[in-house]
A and B are shown apart, each in its own frame.
Chain A
Amino acid sequence: MAKFQYIFRGGAFVTPGLSPSEMQAHMAKWYSWASALIATQHNLGGQPLQTAGATLRGRAAVMTDGPYAESKDLVTGNMLIEADTLSAATELARGCPVFEFDGSVEIRPILERDS
């Protein structure tokens, strides 16, 4: 089994005008999906990220508030996943509710130092 990182971008968290009911329903979907992956022992832990924060950039490590990425590119959270292959990890990501509001998931294998 190998480890992967899911990086969630965009979606409901950057979509304006959602009603309270829609927000709760959407959150419940995330919870269902994440819990199901815990039950099948794929999900090693997820972390939601606050939208506002700080960015340090470049040689001079200039600090800005932010990030101010375009909404659909804004990273909103991550999840550590265990799966056999990249293909398997990608399949598991298909159930993610992020797509409901046009978000995306990046699936990146974690490079292990020791094989």
Chain B
Amino acid sequence: MQDPPAQSAEALVEDLFRRESARLVSALARALGPSNLPLAEDAVHDALLSAMQAWRFGPPRDPKAWLLRAAKNRAIDLLRRGRRFTVLPPELDSEQTLVSTVDDALSPREDCENQLSMMFSICDGRLSAETQITLILRILCGLSGKEIARAFVLDTQTIERRLHRGRARLQELGRLHDVSDAVEVAAREPSVLHALYLLFNEGYHGSDPEDPLQPALCADALRLSEMLLSLPLTSRVEAHALSALFCFNAARLATRMDADGVFLPLSEQDRSLWDAGLLARGVAHLSETATGTRLTRWHLEAGIACEHSLAASVEDTNWSRVVVLYDALFALSPSPVVALNRALAIAELRGLTAGREALLAVACDPRLAAYPFFWLARADIERRAGRTSDARPLYAKAIALSRSRAERVAFERKLALLQD
């Protein structure tokens, strides 16, 4: 009779495979050079496949060490076979140094350097922002092509093509950039920050209809933005601002959806469930941004998130300050979503009529016409103003444009308020 293994698969650290994939691919890619990125990905994929096979009746005592060994052996295997076809750096070409080089590369001590190095390499100006973030999601976040495709509501082939082009461009770089080159760091940092912002957003309000919240992506974005702070050459102020934004938003992840998997309006969220530790961390990061000389959108967004996160309720929120911040944000970054959120803040500060005007002022933007939250905002204002017959078709429009059950049911609940 067999006893169940001492450690359960549930006890296997959540997300272990994904995070180890990210860690190991980054490490191998940095050590082997960008032209070997496909080899790095294959070695790690094979190691995970082995683990899935071998661990199904019980995990090993040390899962991380097991994966490390499997990835290392597979990488060495593939390198030996590929030696005839690929030009390798000298330390990998020689049998004497091959094993120790791969060993050193995979040491956890190097993790931070590996991932920072990859982040900056990936954010190369010759790659589009979409390709940069696609590569980051693949290499630094361990997502598959299919998962990335879902995140961007694109088909898998488009993503695979982007990855293919991205890998080819990285290959042209030869050795990865040494992140001690201050000029390069300064040139690329805006792209790195922007990519992390998009990554966070994908976790905070992603486009996967089945799974609109992916806290793991938010956690990864925060981990990477805080990692930037460990590098002396990056702009500490901007990395702090972005980290503050992530902390304030991540603190509120737990209440964004109810137990039924439906989005909750801010007014209905139980603020006592917001993560106090993350809020405090956000405040700490924000206080480090005061010394900066340049105001970026990250500062403004962090400031807005801070006002929401620290207020006791919607009514207690400092809407005056929020509107000021949105005015500045809109001047800096006039996107339709910013305009929408600004209008909502104006409604809270100056009343429904002012809010309605602000919404109508941006209604001609075709991107907003397709955005369900725009119609929701308009519907809410009419409902609160008592204009039930105007609100009804606006809610219907929002429902028709909803992209997930989480959104649709949330909007339907609002519509149902009209029947009272």
B48 within 8 A of A: yes
A44 to B58, CA, bound (A): 14
Q: Which listed residue, B2, B8, B21, B54, touches A20 by the CB 8 Å rule?
A: B21
Q: Measured between C-beta atoms, what is the minimum distance from A11 to chain B in Å?
A: 10
Of A25-33, A61-69, A84-92, the one with at least 4 CB within 8 A of chain B? A25-33
Most chain A CB atoms below 10 A, which of B9, B20, B21: B9
Q: Measured between C-beta atoms, what is the minimum distance from A33 to chain B in Å?
A: 9
B147 pairs with A19, CB closer than 8 A: yes
List chain B residues, Cβ under 8 A from A46. Answer: 56-57
- Bin chain B's interface residue count: 20 to 34
Given A20-B21, A21-B17: A34 and B56 interface contact (C-beta under 8 Å): yes
Closest to B3 in A: A38
A51 within 8 A of B: yes
A56 within 8 A of B: no
Q: Measured between C-beta atoms, what is the minimum distance from B73 to chain A in Å?
A: 13
Q: Measured between C-beta atoms, what is the minimum distance from A87 to chain B in Å?
A: 23
Q: Which listed residue, B1, B18, B51, B57, touches A31 by the CB 8 Å rule?
A: B57
Closest to B59 in A: A31
A28 pairs with B9, CB closer than 8 A: yes
CB contacts between A and B, total, < 8 Å: 93
A77 within 8 A of B: yes
B39 within 8 A of A: no
Q: Which listed residue, B2, B17, B143, B147, touches A23 by the CB 8 Å rule?
A: B17
B139-172 CB mask vs A (1 if < 8 Å, else 0) is 0001111110000000000000000000000000
A41 within 8 A of B: yes
- Bin chain A's interface residue count: 20 to 34
Given A18-B144, A22-B144, A48-B56: A27 and B51 interface contact (C-beta under 8 Å): yes
A38 pairs with B2, CB closer than 8 A: yes
Closest to A26 in B: B52
List chain A residues, Cβ under 8 A from B16. Answer: 24
List chain B residues, Cβ under 8 A from A35. Answer: 4, 8
Closest to A76 in B: B53
Report the 6 A-B pairs with minimum CB-CB distance, sorted nearest first: A19-B144, A30-B56, A31-B9, A24-B17, A20-B17, A20-B21
16 pairs, A vs B, C-beta closer than 8 Å = A13-B52, A18-B49, A19-B144, A19-B147, A20-B17, A20-B18, A20-B144, A21-B143, A23-B49, A24-B12, A27-B51, A27-B55, A27-B56, A34-B56, A44-B1, A48-B57
Chain B interface (Cβ < 8 Å from any Cβ of A)? 1-4, 8-10, 12, 15-18, 20-21, 48-59, 142-147
Q: Give me 7 other A-B pairs in contact (C-beta within 8 A), A22-B144, A27-B52, A28-B10 excluded.
A: A19-B142, A20-B17, A21-B142, A23-B49, A31-B55, A35-B8, A79-B57
